[in-house]
Chains A and B, each alone.
Chain A
């Protein structure tokens, strides 16, 4: 169930990013997922989501996957350093990641992107945490809420 509730939004967001809006909401989702699940699972999710975005946006295969992998791994390093998965630690990391992503793929950064990243990071994080708390086994959790 957790897999379905995580992968279905990733699929939907990846499609939306290449058709409806150009905001990296898939990245926010992956980073939120990395905040609650094991490192291996989050790295794998980042890779597959990146490949999906590459296919949908006709980028050279592996480009977004590499960026997602790098940002997820940086978040894992950051979490290890502070030994915390709290929202106050997650938010700056998520917003910075979105800024980096925008600069790499869109070569621009606007104020609305930062504001949207901040708001969406909270919403997405809330969704992922709820899904994880309801459907995952207690020994899989690494949350500090």
Chain B
């Protein structure tokens, strides 16, 4: 019986070594982008299925959202009503400024710098990364910025034939060069092993103000001016070389349905 068990274990060990070598081979081939056709064939079936499953999950989330709404919904609603009123005023001011800006540009004959080539994509999944239904076949490349209503969602980190994964600002591996809108203070936005984001490496001489908007600074292959979030808390200690700020993302990444991939790169 013992020899039988040993024989069976040896055969498992041989299988293990053999399949590990195959996995390593696949790893190498895929790293060299030589298995795109295999991924393409698989994506034909998997991408629509994932889309259906993900929209079902979101519908289920919506159906149960009232459970959290009844608890603090009224307070949130009042806050949002006030915010809408403030933003309406801001929006009117911005519209006037935009008209003035366009008129000035027309006078001096300069075209608007904010022209992007955007690819519309649907979200089809969410684990550590956000998955979208556009890939290499649609012109999506690694490093492209992903947006939702001019708000920065993340950067494409992996591409398949018909799908891609997007690294979010909350991810521990995410590093986004950013700056503040009002003060112009520059820093790096780092994910914090969960849902929060920290703006780090801000020199002590720069000013960080609560509620200020954080946008991409235009460094690190990302376009300039995409909104990432607002400052919630500032950590400033004179003994430290840099100051930090906790940034609140403007989007709930799990609830996004459609995004745009900035293919201007």
Query: Chain A interface (Cβ within 8 Å of chain B)?
Result: 15-22, 38-40, 42-44, 47, 50-51, 55-63, 65-66, 69-70, 72-73, 76, 80, 105-108
Q: Kindly identify which residue among B12, B49, B125, B193 contacts A107, using a CB–CB cutoff of 8 Å.
A: B193
Q: Judge whether A58 and B160 touch: CB under 8 Å.
A: yes
Interface of A is mostly: helix
Q: Judge whether B8 and A38 touch: CB under 8 Å.
A: yes
Contacts of A60 in B (CB 8 A): 27, 30-31, 158
Q: For the complex, is B80 an interface residue (Cβ under 8 Å from A)? A: no
Query: Chain B interface (Cβ within 8 Å of chain A)?
Result: 5, 8-9, 11-13, 15-16, 19-20, 22-27, 29-31, 35, 38-39, 42, 46, 49-50, 53-54, 57, 124-129, 131, 158-160, 163-165, 172-173, 193-194
Q: Judge whether A43 and B128 touch: CB under 8 Å.
A: no
Q: Judge whether B12 and A65 touch: CB under 8 Å.
A: no
Q: Kindly identify which residue among A17, A22, A44, A107 contacts B19, using a CB–CB cutoff of 8 Å.
A: A44
Q: Judge whether B128 and A105 touch: CB under 8 Å.
A: yes
Q: Judge whether B23 and A39 touch: CB under 8 Å.
A: no
Taken together as a complex, chains A and B put the C-alpha atoms of A26 and B8 apart, in Å, by 25
Contacts of B38 in A (CB 8 A): 61
A-B contact pairs, 21 of them (CB 8 A): A15-B46, A15-B53, A19-B57, A19-B124, A19-B125, A20-B57, A21-B127, A22-B127, A39-B8, A39-B12, A39-B15, A40-B8, A43-B12, A50-B23, A55-B160, A65-B19, A65-B26, A72-B16, A73-B16, A107-B173, A108-B193
Tell me whether A19 and B128 are in contact in the complex, defined as CB-CB below 8 angstroms, given that A39-B15, A47-B23, A59-B158 are known contacts: no
Complex: chain B residue closest to A63, CB-CB: B27
Q: Judge whether B30 and A61 touch: CB under 8 Å.
A: yes
Taken together as a complex, chains A and B put the C-alpha atoms of A7 and B158 apart, in Å, by 27
By CB atoms of chain B within 10 A, which of A19, A61, A66 has the most? A19
Complex: chain A residue closest to B20, CB-CB: A69
Tell me whether A69 and B160 are in contact in the complex, defined as CB-CB below 8 angstroms, given that A18-B127, A62-B27 are known contacts: no
Taken together as a complex, chains A and B put the C-alpha atoms of A106 and B168 apart, in Å, by 13
Contacts of A80 in B (CB 8 A): 5, 9
Taken together as a complex, chains A and B put the C-alpha atoms of A57 and B132 apart, in Å, by 11
